[in-house]
Amino acid sequence: MKTVCWLIIFFVTIFFQMISVLPCAFATASSPYPSSSIIKIIEFDVTSHIRKAPGSDNWPVTWGDDGHIYTSWGDGGGFGGTNSDGRVSLGVARVEGGKVNYSGYNVWGGKNTDNPAQFGGKSYGIISVDGILYMWWGPGSNTYVYNQTRLLKSIDHGATWTKSNWDFTDIDSSLIMPTICNFGRDYSGARDNYVYHYFIRKQGNPSSLGVHKPGKIDLARVHKDSMMDQSTYEFFAGLDNTGNPIWTSQAINRVSVFEDSEGVGWNLSVSYNPGIDRYLLMTEHTNSFQGNLGIFDAPEPWGPWTTIGYYNNWEDFGSNFFWNFSNKWLSDNGTSFVLVFTGIGENDSWNTIEGNLTLSSQSAQDEENLLPPKDVRVLEE
């Protein structure tokens, strides 16, 4: 009898240990895509959380040619400021240092800035290409930002900015809040000479910022030397019979590259992780400002996507709405990362948290350690 009891206890223990490290699909039943076959587990070390720039949100990041991170924020004073002290509608900053000991400096707008801001607005997409910074821009705050989708350019590391004389909403008002796929330092390691841009497809005529349902994301590409020429942009229009992408200059003929019936956020981020050779996309689902984070991976910028994690109230931070990976702070093998995120309330700030990816191809010895460390939470709902 004692032997039977011990066997029951043994197998129950093994069962619950296995549950804790099952592939992502186990914890992502409502995700629109199957679990990743490449990334088995994603872990976040909550003890590594760093918060700076209280009162300033958004924070898309890119890795500049000078080795620094460049980023933009909204509605605050940036680094060294507060929600009111140094407040601007849109600011640009430079982040210097490593993933633990880093400092932020306001380049354009904000508290103790190097250069005053020239105009307001919001941005969720920034890229450094051949020493030039580009940033997507929309005017004002809240849904007023949907009214225009223009590209900004800076040839002096963010000290001054020039707006494009065109606006994508002139050809299709549903092309809103774009981001740009980031590769390595100053766009090194890119898959080709094109720059890839992802647009939220606006649904209806919303009066407040929120998740767009049904959720659809569109993709455009442009040669890196022609970013400011609207006529050279091409939209993804599906795959041909051999599985190669079809591109069209007519936005009306575009085909979405990502869909979620639970919706997509009013912003997103995409980056390429060279260590694992995957494209990583993050956006909200279901409801905004509640930390409802979806993390997806794909072998190409257009997919096909699989799910790494699909959370409600990610890591109990609660009020987050935007996340992006910093490619500067990736490990060489791509499995150790730093996530930059923001939100409202207490999370209305610059935030970083470290994490790790466990790949399906890692050794059996790694898989023997079935339980995660106590200060790490895995794929919470």
pLDDT at 362: 52
Indicate the pLDDT class of residue 3, thresholds 50, 70 and 90.
very low
pLDDT at 354: 98
- How many beta carbons lie within 10 A of that of residue 83, not counting itself? 16
Tens-digit pLDDT profile for residues 233-278: 999 999 999 999 999 999 999 999 999 999 999 999 999 999 999 9
Q: Is 366 helix (H, G, I), strand (E, B) or coil?
A: helix
Q: Which residues pair with 68 in a beta bridge?
A: none
Answer whether residue 1 shows pLDDT above 60.
no
pLDDT at 361: 77
Instruction: Tell if the pTM clears 0.85, that is, is over it.
Output: yes
Amino acid occupying residue 246:
I
Indicate the pLDDT class of residue 320, thresholds 50, 70 and 90.
very high
Please give the mean pLDDT across all residues of the chain. Answer: 90
Per the listing, tokens 């591109």 go with 247
Answer whether residue 380 shows pLDDT above 80.
no
Rounded mean pLDDT of 352-366? Answer: 77
Q: Are 164 and 230 in contact (CB under 8 A)?
A: yes
Q: Are 95 and 218 in contact (CB under 8 A)?
A: no
What string of DSSP letters covers 211-226?
Answer: -BSSEEEEEEEEETT-
Q: Are 353 and 326 in contact (CB under 8 A)?
A: no
pLDDT at 357: 98
pLDDT at 363: 34
Q: Are 43 and 355 in contact (CB under 8 A)?
A: yes
Answer whether residue 24 shows pLDDT above 90.
no
pLDDT at 278: 98
Rounded mean pLDDT of 65-88? Answer: 98
Provide the 8-state DSSP code for 8. Answer: H
- Report the alpha-carbon distance of residue 99 to residue 87 in Å, rounded: 26
Task: Name the helix (H) or strand (E) containing 162.
Answer: strand 162-163
Rounded mean pLDDT of 108-124? Answer: 98
pLDDT at 188: 98
Answer whether residue 17 shows pLDDT above 70.
no
Beta carbons within 8 Å of 36's beta carbon, 6+ residues apart: 23, 24, 297, 306, 307, 308, 360
**100 token code pair:** 């633990």
pLDDT at 74: 98
Tens-digit pLDDT profile for residues 331-356: 999 999 999 999 999 999 999 999 99
Tens-digit pLDDT profile for residues 141-159: 999 999 999 999 999 999 9
What string of DSSP letters covers 200-263?
Answer: EE--S--SS---BSSEEEEEEEEETT-TT-GGG-EEEEEE-TTS-EEEES-GGG---SEEETT-
- How many beta carbons lie within 10 A of that of residue 189, not counting itself? 11
What string of DSSP letters covers 12-64?
Answer: HHHHHHHHHT--GGGG-TT-SSPBPSSEEEEEEEEEEEEEESTT-EEEEEEE-
pLDDT at 15: 40
**13 token code pair:** 């223990």
Per the listing, tokens 């000290």 go with 159
Q: Is the dihedral of CA 68, 72, 77, 78 positive or negative?
A: negative
Give the domains, in start order, of the chain with CATH numbers.
Answer: 2-378 (2.115.10)
Answer whether residue 367 shows pLDDT above 60.
no
Q: Is 152 helix (H, G, I), strand (E, B) or coil?
A: strand
Question: Among residues of the chain, what percentage have pLDDT more than 90?
Answer: 86
Rounded mean pLDDT of 43-50? Answer: 98
